[in-house]
Amino acid sequence: MASSEEPTTASERRPSLTIRDRRPSMSAPVHDLKGPIGPDFTRPKHKRTATGFGAKDIKDVQSSIPEPQREAWTKFAPQRFAKAEDFQRDAVRHVETSLARSMYNCDEAAMYAGTALAFRDRLVMDWNKTQQAHTFADQKRIYYLSLEFLMGRALDNAMLNVQQKDVAAEGLSGLGFRMEDIIEQEHDAALGNGGLGRLAACFLDSLATLNYPAWGYGLRYRYGIFKQEIVDGYQVEVPDYWLDFNPWEFARHDVTVDIQFYGHVDKWQDENGKTKCSWEGGEIVKAVAFDVPVPGYGTSTTNNLRLWGSKAASGEFDFQKFNSGEYESSVADQQRAETISAVLYPNDNLERGKELRLKQQYFWCAASLSDIVRRFKKTGRAWKEFSSQTAIQLNDTHPTLAIPELQRILIDIEGLEWDEAWSIVHQTFAYTNHTVLPEALEKWSVGLMQHLLPRHLQIIYEINLQFLQYVERTFPKDRDLLGRVSIIEESNPKMVRMAFLAVIGSHKVNGVAELHSDLVKTTILKDFVKVYGPDKFTNVTNGITPRRWLHQANPRLSALIASKLGGYDFLKDLTLLNKIEAHVDDAEFRKEWQAIKLANKERLARHVHETTGITLNPKALFDIQVKRIHEYKRQQLNIFGCIHRYLAIKAMSAEEKKKVVPRVTIFGGKAAPGYWMAKTVIHLINKVGDVINNDPEVGDLLKVVFIEDYNVSKAEFLVPASDISEHISTAGTEASGTSNMKFVLNGGLIIGTCDGANIEITREIGENNIFLFGNLSEDVEELRHNHVFGTYQLNESLAKVFDQIQNGKFGDASQFSALVNAIVDHGDFYLVSDDFESYCQTQDLIDESYKNVDEWTTKSITSVARMGFFSSDRCIDEYAEVIWNIEPVAPTKTDFAVDLAGSDKKSAA
The pLDDT value given to residue 10 = 40
The pLDDT value given to residue 545 = 96
Phi and psi angles of residue 401, each rounded to the nearest 5 degrees, phi first: -60, -15
Residue 376, number of CB atoms within 10 A of its CB = 16
The pLDDT value given to residue 331 = 64
Pairing of strands 214-219, 302-312: parallel
The pLDDT value given to residue 885 = 96
Whether the pLDDT of residue 850 is over 80: the answer is yes
Share of the chain above pLDDT 90, in %: 76
Q: Compute the distance between CA of residue 219 and CA of residue 469 in angstroms, rounded to an integer.
A: 37
Whether the pLDDT of residue 26 is over 70: the answer is no
Q: What is the distance in angstroms between the CA of the first residue and the CA of the last residue of the chain?
A: 82
Q: Compute the distance between CA of residue 122 and CA of residue 89 in angstroms, rounded to an integer.
A: 14
Nearest in space to 119 (alpha carbons), one of 178, 172, 174: 172
3-class state of residue 623 by DSSP: strand
The pLDDT value given to residue 35 = 40
Say if CB 409 and CB 158 are below 8 A apart: no
Whether the pLDDT of residue 321 is over 80: the answer is no
The pLDDT value given to residue 337 = 84
Nearest in space to 909 (alpha carbons), one of 568, 552, 546: 568
- Least confident stretch, 44-48, 88-92, 877-881: 44-48
The 3-class secondary structure across 111-178, one letter per residue, is HHHHHHHHHHHHHHHHHHHHHHHHHHHCCCEEEEECCCCCCCCHHHHHHHHCCCHHHHHHHHHHCCCC
Whether the pLDDT of residue 903 is over 80: the answer is no
Q: Which residues of 497-514 are buried (b: 16+ CB within 10 A; e: fewer)?
A: bbbbbbbbbbebbbbbbb
Q: H-type helices in 442-586, by residue range?
A: 446-452, 454-474, 479-485, 498-504, 514-522, 526-532, 546, 555-565
Q: Compute the distance between CA of residue 794 and CA of residue 834 in angstroms, rounded to an integer.
A: 8
Q: Compute the distance between CA of residue 130 and CA of residue 890 in angstroms, rounded to an integer.
A: 10
Nearest in space to 130 (alpha carbons), one of 62, 206, 211, 61: 211
The domain ranges of the chain are: 138-152+188-539, 546-779+836-870
DSSP label of 96: I
Say if CB 200 and CB 149 are below 8 A apart: yes
The pLDDT value given to residue 892 = 73
The pLDDT value given to residue 894 = 53
One CATH from 3.40.50.10420, 3.40.190.10, 3.40.50.9100, 3.40.50.2000 for 138-152+188-539: 3.40.50.2000
Within this chain, domains 138-152+188-539 and 546-779+836-870 share the same CATH topology: yes
Pairing of strands 250-261, 283-295: antiparallel
- What residues have CB less than 8 Å from 100, skipping those under 6 apart? none
Say if CB 188 and CB 242 are below 8 A apart: yes
Say if CB 741 and CB 513 are below 8 A apart: no
Instruction: Please compute Rg for the chain using Cα positions.
Output: 29
Whether the pLDDT of residue 61 is over 90: the answer is no
Tell me the average pLDDT of the chain.
89
pLDDT band of 327, cuts 50, 70, 90: low
Report the pLDDT averaged over residues 481-503.
96
Say if CB 457 and CB 449 are below 8 A apart: yes
Whether the pLDDT of residue 323 is over 90: the answer is no
Whether the pLDDT of residue 901 is over 50: the answer is no
Name the residue type at position 528: F
Report the pLDDT averaged over residues 122-145.
93
Whether the pLDDT of residue 208 is over 90: the answer is yes
Q: What is the H or E stretch that residue 654 is in?
A: helix 654-658
Whether the pLDDT of residue 22 is over 50: the answer is no
Report the pLDDT averaged over residues 372-391.
95
> How distant, in Å, are the alpha carbons of 174, 319, 553 from that of 166?
12, 54, 16
pLDDT in tens, 455-464: 999 999 999 9
3-class state of residue 438 by DSSP: helix
More confident residue, 105 or 373: 373
Q: Compute the distance between CA of residue 106 and CA of residue 87 in angstroms, rounded to an integer.
A: 16
Whether the pLDDT of residue 438 is over 90: the answer is no
The pLDDT value given to residue 31 = 39
pLDDT band of 53, cuts 50, 70, 90: low
| Fold of the domain spanning 546-779+836-870 | Rossmann fold (3.40.50)
Phi and psi angles of residue 255, each rounded to the nearest 5 degrees, phi first: -110, 100
- What residues have CB less than 8 Å from 905, skipping those under 6 apart? 562, 566, 567, 568
pLDDT in tens, 263-286: 999 998 888 888 899 999 999 999
The pLDDT value given to residue 25 = 34
pLDDT in tens, 686-703: 999 999 999 999 999 999
Whether the pLDDT of residue 8 is over 50: the answer is no
Q: Compute the distance between CA of residue 730 and CA of residue 788 in angstroms, rounded to an integer.
A: 18
More confident residue, 193 or 2: 193
pTM equals: 0.90
pLDDT in tens, 771-809: 999 999 999 999 999 998 888 889 999 999 999 999 999
The pLDDT value given to residue 6 = 42
CA angle in degrees (0–180, nearest 5) for 722-727-729: 160
Say if CB 168 and CB 156 are below 8 A apart: no
DSSP label of 544: B
Q: Name the residues annotated as catalytic.
A: 434, 627-628, 633, 738, 742
The pLDDT value given to residue 42 = 40
Q: Which residues pair with 284 in a beta bridge?
A: 260
Helices and strands of the chain, counted as H and E runs: 36, 23
The pLDDT value given to residue 216 = 98
Say if CB 482 and CB 391 are below 8 A apart: no
3-class state of residue 431 by DSSP: strand
